[in-house]
């Protein structure tokens, strides 16, 4: 019988791609998401899971549920016998977190603490946690490895990830039965090769590549490039971009490792290569055959100049490494965007 995995936030961009990989790896995911958050900028949309179902040819159980709903969580754990949890759910926009810190602390911290408490009460003590490279703050050295100091985060979103890492590590120390893997993501881009589902931010995208692809498809007239005076080759910010499918497969590797490990382990999921904003624009122009006009804008509060991973620990311990390069990331992103110019909207 297939292992049953609870996936929180499983209708989102990373979550939906990971749900597909879970099914293809022989697991049985049960997804929860508070779909109403799509109205205020979340990526959680039922349509993404409907399309995953069509691709895998299997029904996926998904429930509209908020992690702040403790009674609902309890009912779910009473109904299902989960072997582990993959925890994606949470708010994730750096800029919004600077403007609305209390909202981010409430949703991300309290929601996760409730999840951990309910897991504990039902004897489910294995978790893969969706963390972020933002926990490293402004890099003291590059590439960023897992031993790099954490906690000097430049925005409230990053702080929530840092605090939650500490909470999960403390829980693992307090109760020896707990096992956790914390995955520090770099910048996911791209889409499933089918072009049927991908990233669909509501309103003006917070992340670079959905913004770039939506300019290419004609939804926006130009891209705003935030800062051109960083200490980088062309003055624009440099990031480690990783194909969403590679990132999703990292969760399968983590789940397998979880069963064979003890305590709490931490891994970077990145490629180890950094690209600037303008390099990403050129790459999307190549993939799409479209011009991507851009205008320079002031730096955003909370952004750092350069950030890229040292992914060697994940390769050694998880047997995982990113397979897809920049061209493939942009090709798959453009396929999704061009086939779905309005995202999951019915008027695409």
The 10s digit of each residue's pLDDT in 196-254 is 999 998 788 889 999 999 999 999 999 999 999 999 999 999 999 999 999 999 999 99
The 10s digit of each residue's pLDDT in 4-27 is 999 999 999 999 999 999 999 999
pLDDT of 41: 43
Write out the chain in H/E/C secondary structure. CCCEEEEECCCCHHHHHHHHHHHHCCCEEEEEECHHHHHHCCCCCHHHHHHHHHHHCCCCEEEECCCCCHHHHHHHHHHCCCCEEEECCCCCCHHHHHHCHHHHHHHHHHHHHHHHHHHHHCCCCEEEEEEEHHHHCCCCCCCECCCCCCCCCCCHHHHHHHHHHHHHHHHHHHCCCCEEEEEEECEEECCCCCCCCCCCCCCCCCCHHHHHHHHHCCCCCCEEEECCCCCCCCCCCEECEEEHHHHHHHHHHHHHHHHHCCEEEEEEECCCCCEEHHHHHHHHHHHHCCCCCEEEECCCCCCCCEECECCHHHHHHHCCCCCCCHHHHHHHHHHHHHHCCCCCCCCC
What is the arithmetic mean of pLDDT over 51-73? 96
Burial grade of 72 (CB within 10 A; 0-12, 13-18, 19 or more): middle
pLDDT category at 94 given cuts 50, 70, 90 is confident
What is the arithmetic mean of pLDDT over 158-179? 97
pLDDT category at 346 given cuts 50, 70, 90 is low
* pLDDT above 70 coverage of the chain, percent: 96
162 is a catalytic site residue:
no
In this prediction the pTM is 0.95
The 10s digit of each residue's pLDDT in 266-293 is 999 999 999 999 999 999 999 999 999 9
pLDDT of 202: 79
All residues at 6 or more sequence positions from 51 whose CB lies less than 8 Å from its CB, including other chains: 196, 197
What is the arithmetic mean of pLDDT over 171-187? 97
pLDDT category at 42 given cuts 50, 70, 90 is very low
Angstrom distance (rounded) from CA 280 to CA 167? 36
Pick the catalytic residue from 104, 157, 211, 275: 157
Instruction: Considering only residues 102 and 41, tell me which one the structure prediction assigns the higher pLDDT.
Output: 102
Q: Do strands 126-132 and 294-297 pair parallel, antiparallel, or not at all (unpaired)?
A: unpaired
What is the arithmetic mean of pLDDT over 55-72? 96
What is the arithmetic mean of pLDDT over 94-119? 95
Of 20, 346, 72, 337, residue with least CA distance to 198: 337
Q: Under a CB-based contact definition with an 8 Å cutoff, are residues 139 and 307 in contact? A: yes
pLDDT of 36: 60
| Torsional sign, CA 307, 313, 314, 316 | positive
Q: What is the mean pLDDT of the chain?
A: 94
What is the arithmetic mean of pLDDT over 301-310? 91
Q: Under a CB-based contact definition with an 8 Å cutoff, are residues 183 and 131 in contact? A: yes
pLDDT category at 1 given cuts 50, 70, 90 is confident
The 10s digit of each residue's pLDDT in 145-155 is 999 999 999 88
Q: Do strands 126-132 and 179-185 pair parallel, antiparallel, or not at all (unpaired)?
A: parallel
pLDDT at 38 over 60: no
pLDDT category at 40 given cuts 50, 70, 90 is very low
């Amino acid at each position: 019988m297939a292992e049953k995995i609870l996936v929180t936030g499983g209708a989102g961009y990373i979550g939906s791609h990971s749900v597909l990989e879970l099914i293809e790896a022989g697991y049985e995911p049960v997804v929860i998401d508070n779909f109403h958050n799509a109205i205020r900028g979340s990526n959680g949309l039922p349509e993404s899971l409907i399309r995953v179902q069509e691709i895998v040819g299997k029904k996926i159980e998904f429930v509209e549920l908020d992690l702040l709903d403790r009674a609902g969580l309890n009912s779910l754990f009473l109904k299902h016998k989960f072997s582990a949890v993959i925890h994606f759910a949470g708010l994730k926009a750096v800029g919004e977190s600077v403007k609305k810190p209390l909202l981010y602390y409430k949703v991300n911290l309290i929601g996760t603490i409730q999840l951990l408490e309910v897991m504990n009460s039902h004897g489910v003590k294995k978790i893969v946690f969706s963390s972020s490279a933002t926990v490293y703050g402004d890099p003291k050295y590059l590439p960023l490895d897992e031993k790099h100091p954490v906690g000097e985060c430049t925005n409230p979103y990053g702080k929530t990830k840092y605090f939650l890492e500490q909470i999960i590590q403390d829980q693992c120390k307090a109760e020896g039965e707990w096992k956790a893997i914390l995955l520090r993501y770099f910048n996911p881009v791209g889409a499933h090769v089918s072009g049927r589902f991908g990233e669909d931010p509501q309103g003006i995208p917070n992340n670079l590549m959905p913004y770039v692809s939506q300019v290419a498809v004609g939804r926006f007239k130009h891209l705003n490039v935030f800062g051109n005076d960083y200490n980088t080759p062309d003055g624009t910010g440099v990031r480690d971009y990783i194909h969403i499918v590679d990132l999703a497969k990292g969760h399968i590797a983590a789940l397998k490792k979880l069963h064979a490990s003890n305590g709490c382990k931490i891994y970077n999921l990145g490629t180890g290569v950094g690209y600037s904003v303008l390099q990403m624009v050129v790459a999307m122009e190549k993939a799409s055959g479209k011009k991507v006009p851009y205008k320079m804008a002031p730096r955003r509060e909370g952004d750092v100049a350069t950030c890229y991973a040292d992914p060697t620990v994940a390769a050694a311990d998880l047997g995982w490494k990113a397979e897809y390069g920049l061209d493939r990331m942009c090709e798959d992103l453009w396929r999704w965007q061009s086939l779905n110019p309005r995202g999951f909207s019915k008027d695409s």
